[in-house]
A and B are shown apart, each in its own frame.
Chain A
Amino acid sequence: MIRNLRFLSQAAFFALSLAVFFGLAAWPSAAAFQSATQIMPALSGVRWLDLPRFWPVLGLLFVLPLLAGRLYCSWYCPVGFLQDAAGRLAKALRFSAKPADGRSALRYFAFGLAWALLLSGSAAFHFLDHSSSLGSLYGLLGLAWAQRSFDAISGHGTVFALVLLAVPLVRARWFCAALCPTGCAFMLMRRWALFKTRTGPGCAVKAGGRAPRPPSGRALAVGCAACGACSRACPVRCVDEGSIDESRCVDCLECVSECRSGYLAYSLQWPWQATAPKPEPDPVDLRPTGRRRFLIAAGAVAVGALTGRRLRAGILSFPPGEPRDGIPPGGRSADEFYSRCVACGTCASVCPTRILAQKGASPLAGMGQARMDYGSLACSYECNACLAVCPSGALSYFPPQVKKRIKIGSSILKKERCIPIAHGRDCAACHERCPTGAISMAPHQKVRKPKLDDDYCIGCGACEAACPVQPEKAIVVRPRRLHSFAFIPRPSMRKAVGLQDIPRPEDDAFPF
């Protein structure tokens, strides 16, 4: 029952994430909701106090672990869903995945690193973040499908595909236990959760042979029957004969529903109420416990955070990206855009003209982040699909009529290459495509040459895409590091040159 319900919930949210990624831009509310649930990307704008539209959802997700444990991880997260699915596959194939190590120094290091990067304004946290990485995986599939090739794939998505689909075959939910910075934060908060999966002292019956003692006078359980149903049910493999590995438990409730003796329970306990007595340390287990474990974890977080800061000041410092890499409309500025773009590729997947691309294997800073691939492609004037889907807020939403005015660059005319100016032949390929009236045609000898008015130019690249001059174009876009707004095209004030004799509509006779 619980198992099926959970599967339905996970599958539904997985389907939602797929739907948003692969073109549900027509339903912006769904996309906005989806954005708010992608914890780290949604928080990437916290430096600018820029939170997603559904910020209460984000806020709720952040107090949820304190109230009800890691329901986000077990009932919502699509990344968890994929790993669970791989785990089920492993089970079906009869080789059961081993438990992952939920207390590794790696986990705390990744936690410190990712959050330090996020707070210091580097989008490089996306390499560790679960939702961004899932985005890269989708991007990989989306671009491969759109381009019918595997050329434009970020290496990250490929690695993440292995982590999600292959590793869980041998280590149950390895990513959640070993890397996920969001999961780690939730795990730490879960410690004080009011509701979470709890055990009675029954396991002690088996382990130490002592009599069961109900905690704080409440009859929580009658004792563990040691039937093993919980460990068979647990998708994370964190329950074994009634003892829960708190570092990995995601409160999926499957063990609770399987426990026949009522020993495992998802129950309320106030923080001031006494917890069950700790079982005697296993003399064979040489892993560090207690204070030493805490010190190792804290040390790993500190090293991670310091590494993050160091990276941010060094290899990830601004300005990242080539100057030629245009920032998509809605990106506002290089600073904001590059510290928030999580390289998920959602924008590239919805871009109808495919001018939005992901940076390839350039230095770490730009890997996979969105860029305008000027040259033979142009940003569609009427379209604002990328702004509507961006989950991290790297591109903020503007309605089409505002987006049409966002100036992301300026066109530069190279006169010595321009066909009418250099060769005296009519061309106007750039003027033909210009949607804003920034390019008008002025008389030049016997022909007409393009004339640029930068006040109207938005840097869409239509002119550059259209320019027939080879190999180097005669008109190119110089992207801006700081976006602004262009003037609204007003054709009545911009009468075309050379049309002195415009026939009047009341002219009744045939003109020929």
Chain B
Amino acid sequence: MLTRREFLGALGSGALGLGVAGGLLGRLRGLAAAAAVKARPVEGWPDLVGVKDGSPAQMFDVGIKALGGMGRFVKKGASVLVKPNIGWAKTPNEGATTNPELVGRIVESARGASAKKVFVFDHSVELEEDCHRASGIAKAVRAAGGEMRTAGDRDDYRKVAVRGGKVLAEVEVHALYLDCDVVINVPVLKSHGGSRMTAAMKNLMGVVWDRGYWHRHGLQEAIAEFPLVRKPDLNIVDAFIVMVQNGPRGLGTEDLLLKKMQILSPDIVLADAASAKTLGIALEAVPYIKRAAGLGLGSVDLDKKLVKRISVGA
């Protein structure tokens, strides 16, 4: 006959055993996964990594590992610019700005790779202070040990020539974008009434002073030509919440889809090509992508490139 005490004891030890076993199993699985991505693949690092079904920070951890780790991009003592979309005085769940958790995680990761300084800024469309606060990015960056910078002072910008630019012969660019050793571009994926889509390339409009010039003289051409100044070393497209209509500002939650995705690529054009497909529009609908490819800034051919697809949830 089992006494009550014995029964409870058995129940307790059984639960303990299960817990330990589960923990060990998870640990082992993690180790295996880490080992799998640590070994450099024979055909080289993937050109693009797509991650889905995780939290933004989680997907970044998995994605950057698949790309070879942050150490591949950020060398010891490097100065790093992380350029998210902080253009709007909107909260993270409104999908107009980059997820703050993701930005914080990237800053942390760059710091972990022994970066000397990690700067974050965006030439906001709405009032900068409101954008910094509402988006939650300023707080996340500070918590992660990064440095928020402002972009409202023209003195911080430098005029540079765009070699090969037709519409954009010269452009005033924020000094940090030009001077930092590493640039990590962290856009949020949205539809856009003018450029059709805002992702990696469009996000760089936030490092220039006079955006009106782009609108006046050819938005599509200017977006395509700007990376001729400098290509970001890494593009991380936040597609966790995707604004599929009424972008880039959005009118309400009806404009958003929860896609829980992330696209990481050193190739800015390839990142935008994958973003267009994620947004659900044809490559041809976003004229600047092919134009940028024509300028030799990257490839649009997702089929010919090494694309790694990881589902965190599976």
Chain A positions within 8 Å of B, measured between CB atoms, are: 352-353, 380, 382, 419, 425-429, 431-437, 440-441, 448, 450, 466, 468-470, 489-492, 494-496, 498-499, 501-503, 505, 510-512
Contact = CB atoms under 8 A, between A and B. Distances in A.
Interface size class of B (residues with CB under 8 A): 35 or more
Interface string B181-195: 000000000011111
Given A419-B215, A470-B216, A491 B278 contact: no
Nearest to B50: A510
Contacts of A352: 127, 129-130
Given A419-B215, A470-B216, 7 more contacts: A352-B127, A432-B248, A435-B249, A441-B193, A491-B254, A496-B191, A502-B244
B219 interface: yes
A427 B244 contact: no
A427 B219 CA distance: 6
B200 to A, nearest CB: 14
- List of 9 A-B pairs having minimum Cβ-Cβ separation, nearest first: A428-B194, A468-B212, A496-B245, A491-B251, A428-B193, A441-B193, A468-B215, A431-B193, A503-B280
A432 B249 contact: yes
A470 B192 CA distance: 23
Given A429-B215, A468-B215, A512-B273, A502 B280 contact: yes
A501 B215 contact: no
Contact of A468 (B216, B258, B259): B216
A242 B287 CA distance: 90
Contacts of B252: 489-492
B220 interface: yes
A199 to B, nearest CB: 58
Nearest to B303: A512
B251 A489 contact: yes
A376 to B, nearest CB: 10
Contact of B89 (A382, A468, A494): A382
A160 to B, nearest CB: 31
A465 to B, nearest CB: 10
B259 A505 contact: yes
A494 B193 contact: no
A431 B215 CA distance: 12
A441 B257 contact: no
Residue picked from A426, A435, A436, A499, most chain B C-beta under 10 Å: A426
Contact of A441 (B194, B259, B274, B285): B194
B244 A380 contact: no
Nearest to A436: B251
Contacts of B50: 510, 512
B132 interface: no
Chain A interface, >50% SS class: loop
A469 B160 CA distance: 23
Contacts of A428: 192-195, 215, 219
B307 A431 contact: no
A216 B126 CA distance: 72
Contacts of A470: 212, 216
Interface in B239-291: 244-252, 254-255, 257-259, 273-274, 277-281, 285, 287
A512 B274 contact: yes
A505 B258 contact: yes
A130 to B, nearest CB: 34
Contacts of B16: none
Contact of A427 (B126, B194, B250, B307): B194
Nearest to A503: B280
Contacts of B254: 491-492
Contacts of A505: 257-259
A74 B247 CA distance: 58
A506 to B, nearest CB: 11
A117 to B, nearest CB: 37
A498 B246 CA distance: 11
B33 interface: no
Contacts of A499: 191, 244-245, 280-281
A431 B259 CA distance: 25
B40 interface: no
Residue picked from B194, B250, B252, B277, most chain A C-beta under 10 Å: B194
A178 B10 CA distance: 96
B309 interface: yes
A427 B223 CA distance: 12
Contacts of A353: 127
Interface string B27-53: 000000000000000000000001010
B245 A491 contact: yes
Contacts of A382: 89, 130
Contact of B194 (A380, A431, A440, A512): A431
18 contacts: A380-B126, A426-B196, A427-B216, A432-B194, A432-B248, A433-B249, A466-B125, A490-B251, A491-B252, A496-B246, A499-B281, A502-B280, A503-B259, A503-B279, A505-B257, A505-B259, A512-B50, A512-B307
